[in-house]
Structure 1
Amino acid sequence: MTILIPLLGDQLYHGLASLAGVDRANAAVLMAEVMAEATYVPHHPKKIAFILSAMRHFADELRAAGWRVDYVALDDPANTQSFDGEVARAALRHGASEIRTVEAGEWRVIAMQNGWAALTGLPCTILPDTRFIDTRADFADWASQRKRLVMEDYYRLLRKRTGVLMDGDKPAGGAWNFDADNRKPPKKGLAYPPHPHFVADDITQQVLTLVAARFSGNFGDLLPFGYAVTRADALLALADFMARRLPQFGDYQDAMVTGEDHMFHSELSSLINIGLLTPMEVCVAAEAAYRAGTVPINAAEGFIRQILGWREYVRGIHWIAGPQYNDSNHLGATRDLPAFYWSGETDLNCLKQAIGSTRRNAHAHHIQRLMVLGNFAMLIGTAPAQIHEWFLAVYDDAYEWVEAPNVIGMSQFADGGLMGSKPYAGGGAYINRMSDYCKGCRYDVKQRTGPDACPFNSLYWDFLARHEEALKGNQRLWRMYDGWRRFSGEEQLRIRAQAADFMASIA
């Protein structure tokens, strides 16, 4: 009697719950590359290649560990190209007596998993994903006791529970949060260490050939390809970040620099989200660097907060909000996503830089995503579903459980404030302060109106005016609305006309 263990492409972890305690002699691990998953959004070619290569390497590791692995390649002529089809075929092929799987991180895949018992006539056990630091139940319990789900409160709870960056019952360094020290603009002459590049082996080369043939029309550059695609290489990438970039990550984590796609960012999120690294081991490594005196507290704490705090928090939001969360549209935004998000052809330099990094790397750091790409989409009133799909498609670390709350909630305020206490709207001044992008732009960041005025300025004020009824009661926005009301009536009309003309020009 064979236990069939379907293993998803973002579950590449030897300690996965579905593998635990199973007699390997009586089990078959199913891994399937299917077009349905590669095409439900038009994924960046680098993202597809990363996942497929990591899957194939992980399959070899499982075989070496004594597992029987049934691997279905994308170009297998018998491939049904869907999870349902491959689970059904494998159940028959192995004479399976039961199915054992770990819950997916996307509602649409969970719906498939929930149907596998009826599809195959076999009992199907769906186990929780234990790779996270907190459990779904514990987050739901925490959330049920609060009127507002403040991430900082949750983060402090997990710090205490795990002991990470704690000195007894006190936070290391004497404060819970050093965010105020992590907002430095880029400094002239600052040297940025190179990002690690891993040479593609034969397995990866085969994947690159396959992806080039099947997905050449997708947004994004496939080459050069230097991803860590094994556990061993992921650990090397982790060590490289701790030694070479984490020490200055804190100071400049919000900065943006023309031509510097990586700066001091870890870019470990794709490795954590796929399973090659665990969130706790990454947090422990950052704390160890701080304790050893090689990393300042603001860098260690700021990095750990992104994982122990924010990552766990958005995952909890995903589960308690339910599948309908993806349809949220609190501000009634209906505009189409501008075509230049796909082409990169825009004369707004900040957008060109962020989209360019995305095209080259399947990656852009969090401020580029939030305060440039997401901010612009929200200011012009882009339909949340469209910008959500774009983010899900183009980033190598994007899976629904983490991407949807970040975009729909944090970036677009489409959930009405479930996650964020205010919309993360900003004009050109913020981008100018935190980057050198404005110096290379054809627009003047200091002008609100006129042919050379930075569009972010009029769009920002127009956004506030357009949504005044919905937002005027927000206590964190009173200064902004006070500033809007200080403009003369004529100036307000000029600003809104400027915004309308610009939005018409990109329709």
Structure 2
Amino acid sequence: MAKTLRLILGDQLNSNHSWYTKTNADITYILLEVMQEQQYVMHHVQKIMAFFAAMRNFAHQLEKRGHQVIYVKLNDKDNQQDFEQNLKRLIDQQEIDRFEYQLPDEYRLDEQLKSICLSLSIETGFADTEHFLTGRSDVQNFFGDKKRFLMETFYRNMRNKLHILMNGEDPTGNRWNFDADNRKKYDNKVPLQDAITFDHDVSVLKGMIDKMGVKYFGNIDEKHLEWPLSRQEALKSLDYFCHHLLPHFGTYEDAMLQNHISLFHSRLSFVLNVKMLSPVEVITKVLNHYEQNQETITLAQVEGYIRQVIGWREFMRGIYWAHMPGYEEKNFFNHTTEMPHWFWGGNTKMNCLNKCIGQSLDHAWAHHIQRLMVIGNFALLAGINPDEVDAWYLGVYIDAIQWVEITNTRGMSQFADGGIISSKPYVASAAYINKMSDYCKHCYYDYKKKVGDRACPYNSLYWNFFDRNADQLKKNPRIGMAYMTLKKMKPEEKALLMEQAEKYLGDLNGL
């Protein structure tokens, strides 16, 4: 029989894929640690460790099931440090007759693998990852020629198509969306739960990347890496979420606390995005647990989570494939400001950013409101170059792969796509951050002050953002109130606000 080499990428750790149903001595699987993937962006050290450790474990599990596996470590002497050269070397050495791969979720890798296949003199083929609930083009096909894709419309279609939380053609509870119920500040009415963590010694891996000169940022306790690195641990994390966190997830999903980083969030994004878990098994587990525990779990908790998995996650992937290439270059506001140095250390006097960036550097994770309404909000108000914002988000978060990162960052957070994803920019003054967190109570700045000594930067930057972008935004019906308020401002009040904002914009590193 023809000898086949099958490539498995670091985010394709799906042990239930049909590739692995049967063992075949003529099929060899290959996983590669390459500098190519460490250099296109600088990653958080925990992200590198988690990917490498999870890949190594996956290879080991395949071998235990009887599959033929080649694993190329970063420091192997024959490692050519990119996919193409390594694959061509092994195809020659192993006398391979056919090469196959699973469709990548990043455009750059999709293009690279198509190019590699064209350059090979052997048969090639590809397979679906068998992970997502939609195909690459489903979102584009659903919306057709419309300029703006509405997630809510897509989400309702997914609910109908998959018959999830439905009574016939009507939504369970007679409401599609419980988002309005899920915006509460943490009020101490229910006890907080610790996130589930694991205890992995990755000191050998850390030593290897240091010797290889890999550039990284962020912090790590290399003796105690906390993230799930195997399917068994991923399933344990899912079970923990259902039993301990799901009962209050929806209510407090937007809340933030400076001394508790995750509240009731599942932190399953890493294991989902590397495909240790599938969205089908996650939502099946959540729905089954809800059915069995309706006396302690309300519909709002479950709908809020289901919306993230079958709605937002699939929607963002569809946007990515509908608008790549080119999406990574969008800069609607022509922002060019350099990112402040404290994004790499967290040492800013703004407590909300100090805590959210510090948490990101310490844990390679933050929840969606910390990413969107604290860090992303500031970046947009300050006019930071979206190229730099993209690179930081793609590098810092353990779950960040371009298909999900760039749509959330350049699209939803920075409005750099001009409204493809969001109908308005997600910006807010200090009042919102104070409403949803306890950060402002412990801050050097006064969240109530708009101008003057120790006035919170978010306040004047908020009005400066709308003023400087009036030509692009004033006709947007969703933010008309902001421009009505600006118009009614006394000239001297507005002048003071703009002066305060320019002072802060002139010294972002000093904030």
**Aligned position for 1:336:** 338
**Aligned position for 1:459:** 461
**Aligned position for 1:439:** 441
Q: Map 1:107-506; keep pairs closer than 5 Å.
A: 107-144=107-144, 146-188=146-188, 190-200=190-200, 204=202, 206-211=204-209, 218-223=216-221, 224-292=224-292, 293=294, 294-506=296-508
Distance 1:213 1:506 in 2: 35
Give RMSD over aligned pairs.
1.7
Distance 2:475 2:227 in 1: 47
Gaps of 5+ in 2: none
Distance 2:301 2:204 in 1: 39
**Aligned position for 2:57:** 57
Distance 2:354 2:498 in 1: 24
C-alpha displacement at 1:122, in angstroms? 2.3
SS at match of 1:313: helix
SS at match of 1:101: strand
- Asked if 1 retains the 8 angstrom alpha-carbon contact of 2:345 and 2:358, the reply is no
C-alpha displacement at 1:189, in angstroms? 6.9
Distance 2:232 2:102 in 1: 24
* CA gap 1:255/1:163 in 2 versus in 1, 3 angstroms: same
C-alpha displacement at 1:29, in angstroms? 0.5
* CA gap 1:329/1:100 in 2 versus in 1, 3 angstroms: same
**Aligned position for 1:70:** 70
Distance 1:199 1:443 in 2: 38
**Aligned position for 1:13:** 14
Tell me the number of residue pairs that the alignment of Structure 1 and Structure 2 aligns. 504
Percent identical among aligned pairs is: 37
- Asked if 2 retains the 8 angstrom alpha-carbon contact of 1:30 and 1:90, the reply is no
SS at match of 2:369: helix
Which has the higher mean CA deviation after the structures are superposed, 232-241 or 90-99? 90-99
Which has the higher mean CA deviation after the structures are superposed, 248-257 or 85-94? 85-94
* CA gap 1:178/1:39 in 2 versus in 1, 3 angstroms: same
TM-score with structure 2 setting the length: 0.95
- Asked if 2 retains the 8 angstrom alpha-carbon contact of 1:186 and 1:256, the reply is yes
SS at match of 1:333: coil
- Asked if 2 retains the 8 angstrom alpha-carbon contact of 1:212 and 1:222, the reply is no
Distance 1:351 1:138 in 2: 37
C-alpha displacement at 1:433, in angstroms? 0.3
Distance 1:291 1:21 in 2: 31
Distance 2:210 2:239 in 1: 31
Q: 1:62-110: per-residue Cα shift (whole Å, max 9, x none)?
A: 1122210010011111111111121111211221111111121112111
C-alpha displacement at 1:288, in angstroms? 1.5
Which has the higher mean CA deviation after the structures are superposed, 345-354 or 31-40? 31-40
Distance 2:393 2:469 in 1: 24
Gaps of 5+ in 1: none
C-alpha displacement at 1:286, in angstroms? 1.5
C-alpha displacement at 1:22, in angstroms? 7.3
C-alpha displacement at 1:209, in angstroms? 3.9
- Asked if 2 retains the 8 angstrom alpha-carbon contact of 1:349 and 1:440, the reply is yes
Distance 1:125 1:379 in 2: 46
TM-score with structure 1 setting the length: 0.96
C-alpha displacement at 1:140, in angstroms? 2.2
- Asked if 2 retains the 8 angstrom alpha-carbon contact of 1:102 and 1:129, the reply is yes
- Asked if 2 retains the 8 angstrom alpha-carbon contact of 1:45 and 1:222, the reply is yes
Q: Map 1:42-53; keep pairs closer than 5 Å.
A: 42-53=42-53
- Amino acid corresponding to residue 407 of structure 1 in structure 2: T
